[in-house]
Structures are given as C-alpha cells and as structure tokens.
C-alpha cells in the first residue's frame, strides 16, 4: 500500500516573506531505496516518489488520498512565535 505525507512547506531561509507557504503538499514516501553502486546516490524503482501534488486546502488533500485509497500522515504546521521588537528597546535598560 502506498503511503504519503500531507503538509505545508516551511518558508525558505533565503526569503523574508511567507509566499508559497499556503498550499498543502502531498508527497509519496519512497519504497525500498537503494544506493547506486557507481555514484553512491540513493535511487528507487518507485516513480511515485517523484510526485509532489499541491492542494489549496487540507480537506482537498485528504479527500484525494481517501479517493485513491492511500495511507496518509498529516503533519500540522507549527505556530510561529513573533517577537515584537522596537529599536528604542536597545536603549531602555
């Protein structure tokens, strides 16, 4: 049976905004990965590991997984902590 992860990707450390972090991604897990003896790379005969499906909501991704009878794991996004800073706080000690 195929197994997949459903998650929202983290923002890239190279970007300051939160663009492209509103889509839910469904990614299949690799079955039986093997090492390529020539290059040492990890490879697999499973082409599902190359798929990366985007959904606008978590419910759509779950419904798709249920429709195709895929076992899935949902990884909920963590809540971001925002620290409100002020330049004046550097001088108020």
Q: What is the pLDDT of residue 72?
A: 94
Phi, psi of 79 (to 5 degrees): -75, 135
- For residue 44, the model assigns a pLDDT of 76
Q: Tell me the pLDDT of the chain (93 aa) as tens digits.
A: 689 999 998 877 777 777 777 899 999 987 777 887 888 887 777 788 788 999 999 999 999 999 999 999 999 988 878 888 888 888 886
Cα gap 55→34, rounded to integer Å = 30
- pLDDT tens readout for residues 12-37: 777 777 777 789 999 998 777 788 78
Q: Which residues of 57-74 are buried (b: 16+ CB within 10 A; e: fewer)?
A: eeeebbebbeeeebebee
> Over the Cα atoms of the chain, what is R_g?
19
pTM: 0.72
Domains of the chain: 3-90 (3.30.160.190)
């Amino acid at each position: 049976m195929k197994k997949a992860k459903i998650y929202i990707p983290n923002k890239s450390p190279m970007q300051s905004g939160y663009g492209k972090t509103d889509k839910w991604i469904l990614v299949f897990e690799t079955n039986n990965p093997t090492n390529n003896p020539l290059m040492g790379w990890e490879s697999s005969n499973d082409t599902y590991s190359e798929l990366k499906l985007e959904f606008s909501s978590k419910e759509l991704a779950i419904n798709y997984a249920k429709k195709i009878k895929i076992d899935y794991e949902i990884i909920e996004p963590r809540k971001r902590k925002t620290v409100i800073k002020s330049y004046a706080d550097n001088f108020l000690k």
